[in-house]
Amino acid sequence: MPIDADNLRELQKHGILQEQVSLAHYTTWRVGGPAQWLAEPSDAEQIPTLLRWAANQEMPVRAIGAGSNLLIADEGLPGLTLCLRRLQGIDLNGQTGRVKASAGEPIPTLARRAARLGLQGLEWAVGIPGTVGGAAVMNAGAQGGCTAERLLSVDVVALEGEDFSIQRLERDALDFAYRHSALQGRRLLVLAAEFQLEPGHDPGELQRRTSGNLNHRTSTQPYKQPSCGSVFRNPEPAKAGRLIEGLGLKGRRVGGAQVSEVHANFIVNTGEARAADIRNLIGMVQQKVAEAHGIQLQPEVKRLGFEMAA
Within a domain: 235 = no
The answer on 261 and 181 residing in a single domain is: no
The answer on 210 and 102 residing in a single domain is: yes
pLDDT of residue 1: 42
AA letter at 210: T
Q: Is 285 helix (H, G, I), strand (E, B) or coil?
A: helix
The answer on 110 and 74 residing in a single domain is: no
Which of these, 269, 266, 265, 259, lies nearest to 30 by C-alpha position? 269
Within a domain: 139 = yes
Percent of the chain with pLDDT over 70: 96
CATH number for the domain harbouring residue 56: 3.30.43.10
In DSSP terms, 79 is beta-bridged to none
The answer on 210 and 118 residing in a single domain is: yes
Q: How many domains does the chain have?
A: 3
User: Pairing state of beta strands 34-39 and 77-83?
Assistant: parallel
Within a domain: 178 = yes
The answer on 34 and 116 residing in a single domain is: no
CATH number for the domain harbouring residue 277: 3.90.78.10
**pLDDT tens-digit map of 48-65:** 889 999 999 999 999 999
List of residues 6+ apart from 297 with CB closer than 8 A: 232, 233, 235, 240, 243, 285, 286, 289, 290
**pLDDT tens-digit map of 78-100:** 999 999 999 999 999 999 999 99
Within a domain: 231 = no
In DSSP terms, 193 is beta-bridged to 101, 154
Name the pTM for this structure. Answer: 0.88
Within a domain: 125 = yes
By the 8 A CB rule, do 63 and 103 touch?
no
Query: Quick one: residue 115, left, alpha or beta (phi over 0 = left, psi -120 to 50 = alpha)?
Result: alpha
The answer on 115 and 204 residing in a single domain is: yes
**pLDDT tens-digit map of 19-47:** 999 999 999 999 999 999 999 999 998 89
- 10-residue mean pLDDT profile of the chain (310 residues): values are 62 83 96 97 90 92 92 97 96 97 96 96 91 94 92 96 92 93 91 97 94 84 90 94 98 98 97 97 98 96 78
pLDDT of residue 221: 87
Within a domain: 230 = no
pLDDT of residue 7: 67
pLDDT of residue 208: 94
Instruction: Point out the domain boundary residue: 29, 60, 83.
Output: 83
pLDDT of residue 310: 44
The answer on 172 and 76 residing in a single domain is: no
Q: Write out the catalytic residue numbers.
A: 179, 230, 300
The answer on 189 and 105 residing in a single domain is: yes
Residue 161: other Cβ atoms inside 10 A:
10
The answer on 160 and 44 residing in a single domain is: no
The answer on 187 and 158 residing in a single domain is: yes
The answer on 104 and 209 residing in a single domain is: yes
CATH number for the domain harbouring residue 153: 3.30.465.10
The answer on 204 and 106 residing in a single domain is: yes
Within a domain: 214 = yes
Within a domain: 184 = yes
Domain extent, residue 212, equals 90-220
